[in-house]
Amino acid sequence: MPPANNIPGTSMLSTRRPGNPAQEATELFECYLPEQAERLQRRLNGSAWQRLLRSGAVAAARQARAETPAEPAPDRLAADHLIARNEAAARARIAAGERDRESLLAILARWNDSGAADVPLPGLSFLGLCLTWACNAVPKCRYCNQQPTARRMRLAHWKRVITRAAESGGRPYVYMTGGEPLLWRERLYGPDGLIRHATARGCPANINTNAFLLTPHVAIQLVASGLAKLHVSLDSADPAVHDRLAGAPGCWQRALAGIENIQIARELLGVDRPVVHVNCVLTRENARGWPELVRLILHVKKQRSAGHQGSRRGDPVFRELGAHLIPVGGPQNAALRLAADEIRRFHQETWERAAAVWDEYQEETGVPPGERVAFNDWAFFASAWRRVAHRGTLAEYAAACVAGEYARLALGPRCHIVPTQAFVLPDGSQYWCGAHYVSRPEPVGNVLESDLVGNIRRSLPQVAGFPGPRCRNCATATLFLNQGIEKTLGAKVEAWIKEAESEAGPSPG
């Protein structure tokens, strides 16, 4: 595989040059840029893929492929429950003359037992599983800040947790991480593995991986399992920078090879799932290279779904390989953390250079001007500064980041989503969410000793105290959901006030 800076970016999607290896890619890789199609064809022609094809494993996987479940709408699940449970109480206060929006929102957002008794609690929308602390990155990534616990959970225990979450009524998104979850091998992606166990119960599954173990065999098994998303660690377009952060030479090559094996497996099985995303830990060593990582992603990603008729933005692979920029965490990583001026420069100058790469890509690939999409739209997942609203200026946000409190200025007065989430560690400890899995307050329970859903219901009084100090590194996705729910509830309050005043008629005099 050529270095990232040698990946051409000037070919049109429809280009096929006679006499060139791109011709061999035929229809199988027609939805990729020609250079990527050539690379995929060369990899497919290699001994590993050819052995797998001759073994009949690909044909068997095609026959046994599980359908990927639809993803939940976690914001709607939480908002609908709160409205159903607390509408009567909020309307009664409005009828009594209350007009303070904050007071009314506080009533509408209550998760405790003071609401309508006949409205059951909703199911889960998110289930995080840290399957193992073991990792095949040796030495470990320089920024790794895991806090291992004892290992007590076995395959049967994890299956029981997934089953219980699915039975709760929400069909949660099952997010599996580690350590390196692919070390679980057949227990993860085999016929009786956790992914198929989740998908069979209507729960879409995601895996976080360094991609080292993404061989052709594993790629075929993952695609056949019905996996919804795959997040691959890729910190730079420069192999040397990525390998330095990952801790060893060759990590960049292995990550790209794993991505290509997933791409080949999807095409052989005729599906677009799992959608692949990139996890990039943002440090002072790779921040300046963000535009080049965008360039690499754009020319490696699948460009369109076969047969897709709608807008580009509506294509399931529109944000294929979309990057999630993860701020480096942990006090031990202070030397890797961007300084305040570097953070400001990244979100201004570096971001604009990346936007220029996106504009250049749309021009080169022949996207009609009327169909072009803004970079901030395509890179929706990338920037916490742009994805959610923060109180204060970029300079104030930078100061919070330097202090290691990336989410502090985006936290609202309430956490609406957390009662629909759970995060379980290898020792069975259950936390409210991903932020608490990292910050480690007292767990809400242990799934080896008590029921997953029962732990949530028993701990509901805690929700009134969120967000708290342990929430200052809340995941951007959770912040986004909470801010959306707050807007939905606020709109309901405004509508009910308007309705009450309309029914009351004009005031006398």
Structure confidence by residue, pLDDT tens digits, 441-460: 999 999 999 999 999 999 99
Cβ atoms of 226 and 205 closer than 8 Å: yes
For the chain, the first-to-last Cα distance in angstroms comes to: 81
pLDDT at 1 over 50: no
Confidence of residue 27 (pLDDT cuts 50, 70, 90): confident
Report the chain's mean pLDDT, rounded to a whole number: 91
Q: Each residue of 319-355: b (16+ CB within 10 Å) or e?
A: bbbbbbbbbbbbeebeebbbebebbbbbbeebbeebb
How sure is the predictor about 508, in pLDDT bands with cuts at 50, 70 and 90?
A: low
Do residues 48 and 68 touch, judged by C-beta distance below 8 A? no
- Of the pLDDT bands very low, low, confident and very high (cuts 50, 70, 90), residue 312 is confident
Three-state secondary-structure class, residue 237: coil
Rounded distance between C-alpha atoms, residue 127 and residue 148, angstroms: 19
Q: Are 220 and 52 in contact (CB under 8 A)?
A: yes
pLDDT for residue 308? 85
Comparing CA positions, the residue from 315, 314, 273, 68 lying closest to residue 171 is 68
- Higher model confidence: residue 239 or residue 140? 239
Answer for the pair 339, 295: CB distance below 8 angstroms, yes or no.
Answer: no
Task: Find tokens 């560690």 and name the residue.
Answer: 425
Strands 323-327 and 205-209: unpaired
> Cα–Cα distance between 388 and 397 in angstroms, integer?
12
Confidence bin at 486 (pLDDT 50/70/90): very high
21 pLDDT more than 80 = no
Measure the CA–CA gap between 183 and 386, rounded to whole angstroms. 35
pLDDT at 49 over 90: yes
Strands of the 275-282 sheet, one edge to the other: 323-327, 275-282, 229-233, 205-209, 173-177, 126-130, 421-424, 429-431, 445-446
The 10s digit of each residue's pLDDT in 148-196 is 888 889 999 999 999 999 999 889 999 999 999 999 999 999 999 999 9
Q: Six-digit token pair at 451?
A: 């029921």
